Amino acid sequence: MGAMSKMRNSTPIVLWVLIFSFGVLWVLQDTQVFDALAGGPAYLGSVNGDNITHEEYNNRVSYYVEQYNEQSNTPMTTEMRTFYEEQAWEDLVAERLMAQKMDELGITVTDQELVNMITGENPDPFIRQQFQDEDGRIDRIALRAAIEAPENQQIWMMIEQQLRQNRRQQKMSNFIASGLRVSSSDINQAYKKQNSYADIRFVRFPYSEISDDEIEVTDSEIQSYYDNNRDQFHREESYRFRYVSFDKTPTSEDTLRIRQDVEELRTLFADAENHQDFMQQYQSATSFQDSFVSRDEIREEYSPVLDLEVGEVSDVYMIDGNPHMFKLVDERNGEIKFAVFSYIVIADPIATVDRLAEEAEEFSFFANEDGFEAEAEAQGYEIHTGSATKGTSVVPGIGEARPLVNELERLRRGQISDGIELANEFVVVQMTEVISAGPRPLSEVRSQIESRLRDMKRREATAQRAQEVYQGAQILEEIAEASGKEIQTANNVRFGANTISGAGREPGIIGAVFGLEEGARSGVLEGNSAAFVVEVNDLSIADPAQMSSDERRELRQQLEQQKYSVFGNVWLEQMKKDATIRDNRFRLMGG
């Protein structure tokens, strides 16, 4: 009885730990703690009327941030934080769309199925993992004790909810997979592509040999191409803006501060015995490599370590603007093991970053009062211009700038933003033009169309020249001599490959090669960068009958995964297009 009581008492703690590792934190949803927000929507957003709460969104973001902090030694940038926020939002939208589709299809998990997943003969892998004894069998006594303990009631409710959700999702995956069956023909063809080879000779006619002077593109051809291919020039909503920048480059004071931080760890570094733990505990930007290297292999910037005695720590050296110190850990047979401790110099969050934030906000305030251009001139700031596209986080001339694009999506023409923090700067922007989604005007894409038409005519002219030579020749050598070109060879060209040695990426030509008989010569083939005449010297076509059962099973799994991945992405995007998705984050969270 004592052992049973002890097990019962410890079970809640164990299960709570398992709950968090199991991901149930993401299931804690639908609280209404933010419903009292005045003047705005009660929820962060919704998908076809199914609300997304602040709590589940924040929990998801926190999860990603914690994962980042555990895996990275560098501070999280604003752009990275914004990336995780977008990822969390996309996750929650996708989960709701999938749940709604499962409801529509009638995919459910019955109570009896759930019972079987916990106490049945073949329980869910999660249950098996937690209650498996040394012999690999389920400890039914421990499982029953955990189920019956009154204090575990809430925990089991969450476990059951997660198990039910996992089984439901598995049924959905099986439903999708059932419509994406891989046939024996698919497997045979994949086997052939992976295991068939050819040795070829070819004469190559590069398109680039036709000069622009030999090609004429008329205005009417450009207009006709534009009229017939407007969908190729569609653009999303885009923005033109002007902005001033407040550089977050670390100051000399920031550099001195970080250097002093490293120097203060010098004694602890010298006393450290477990260098991996020390590096992780004090968040060194360089990790410890627990291995010996030859003194001759030490790169120049790390040369101070060569002057140290075993256990000695160097002075602080500035390498690429960042402080480093070295410790010689061990030495044997002319090789050394050493540790490098370093910090990345960043702008001080208070002395530098907060000051710049205040300057940006001050500029924004007075720009709204006195005018953007007038305030920039009064304070001596240079005005830059930029453009961005809705849904695209990279801004030309600025780089990764999701917070900026988010702000542009809500600004109207003439509006001035607050200070926007990016990785290396704060910016204050004024919207100058909002360009609606639709086809770009001909004036913007004229040069693009002209270049495309020139390429098409260049290909046609090259193929025609090659055809003229081809018609007058009997063998490949005559084609090469008549055109003044060399015969090139490529051996072991794989059926499923994309490139040909000496010719570049030419999947179409490779496909044509395996449509020929051994010893045969092709006609003029148009590739990506040139026209070709190809002769097959040797052809080895794999026989699917020689495939082992393991190879067949592995190929089937690969093809099914490929189909499932492609279909899943397309299907999700289509569901998004058909759904009513409301995103209230900007209204409730200010950015």
User: What per-residue confidence (pLDDT) applies to 6?
Assistant: 36
Intra-chain end-to-end CA distance of the chain, in Å:
58
* More reliable by pLDDT, 444 or 23: 444
| pLDDT band for position 443 (cuts 50, 70, 90) | very high
Is the pLDDT at 18 greater than 50? The verdict is no
* 573 compared with 525, residue with greater pLDDT: 525
Q: Are 421 and 82 in contact (CB under 8 A)?
A: no
**3 pLDDT higher than 60:** no
Q: Residue 73: which pLDDT band, with cuts at 50, 70 and 90?
A: low
Please say if the pLDDT value at position 577 is more than 90: no
Separation between Cα atoms, residue 248 and residue 360, nearest integer Å: 12
* Half-sphere exposure (Cβ direction) of 45: Cα atoms closer than 13 Å: 20
pLDDT of residue 525: 96
Distance CA 430, CA 397 (A): 16
pLDDT in tens, 74-103: 667 777 788 888 888 888 998 888 888 888
pLDDT at 160: 85
Q: Assess whether pLDDT exceeds 70 at residue 9.
A: no
Residue 11 has pLDDT above 60, yes or no: no
Q: What is the pLDDT of residue 281?
A: 87
Q: What is the pLDDT of residue 114?
A: 85
512-536 pLDDT, tens per residue?
999 999 999 999 999 999 999 999 9
Judge contact between 397 and 419, C-beta under 8 A: no
Distance, CA of 44 to CA of 583 (rounded, Å): 7
Q: Given this model, what pLDDT does residue 115 score?
A: 86
> Rounded CA gap, 506 and 231, in Å?
27
Q: What is the pLDDT of residue 587?
A: 62
Instruction: Read off the pLDDT of residues 407-416 as tens digits, 9 standing for 90 and up.
Output: 999 999 999 9
- Torsion angle of C-alpha atoms 67, 68, 71, 77, degrees rounded to 10: -170
- The predicted model gives 579-585 an average pLDDT of 84
- Count of other CB atoms within 10 angstroms of residue 123: 20
Average pLDDT over residues 60-86: 79
Average the pLDDT over 379-388 and give the result.
94
Mean pLDDT of 313-337: 92
Residue 77 is predicted with a pLDDT of 72
Instruction: For residue 289, give both structure tokens.
Output: 């490599």
| Segment among 202-211, 377-386, 542-551, 566-575 with least mean pLDDT | 566-575
Instruction: Return the exposure string of 256-292: e unless at least 16 CB atoms fall within 10 Å of the residue's CB, then b.
Output: ebbbeebeebbeebeebeebeebbeebebbbebeeee
More confident residue, 364 or 564: 364
Is the pLDDT reported for residue 162 higher than 90? no
Q: Residue 52: in which H helix or E strand, if any?
A: strand 50-52
Q: How many helices (H) and strands (E) does the chain have?
A: 20, 21
Segment 529-549 mean pLDDT: 94
Closest to 179 measured CA to CA, from 553, 554, 568, 558: 568
Cβ atoms of 432 and 413 closer than 8 Å: yes
pLDDT at residue 12 above 60?
no
Identify the residue with better confidence: 130 or 538.
538
| The dihedral formed by the CA atoms of 377, 246, 395 and 407, expressed in degrees to the nearest 10 | -90
- pLDDT band with cut points at 50, 70 and 90 for residue 586: low
The predicted structure's pLDDT at residue 381: 94
Backbone dihedral angles phi then psi of residue 486, each to the nearest 5 degrees: -100, 155
Residue 505 has pLDDT above 60, yes or no: yes
Q: What helix, strand, coil percent values describe the chain, rounded to 5? A: 55, 20, 30
Long-range interactions of 535-539: CB distance < 8 A, separation 24+: 535/200, 535/201, 535/202, 535/476, 536/198, 536/199, 536/200, 537/198, 537/199, 537/200, 537/201, 538/198, 538/199, 539/196, 539/198, 539/199, 539/514
With a cut of 70, say whether residue 26 has pLDDT above it: no
pLDDT tens per residue, range 218-248:
999 999 999 999 999 998 999 999 999 999 8
pLDDT for position 15 = 42
d(CA 77, CA 272): 30
Task: Report pLDDT for 326.
Answer: 94
Confidence class for position 41, pLDDT limits 50, 70, 90: low
pLDDT attached to residue 197:
96
What is the pLDDT of the chain when averaged over all its residues? 86
Over residues 298-320, mean pLDDT:
91
Q: What letter does residue 286 receive in the DSSP assignment? A: S
pLDDT at residue 374 in the model = 95
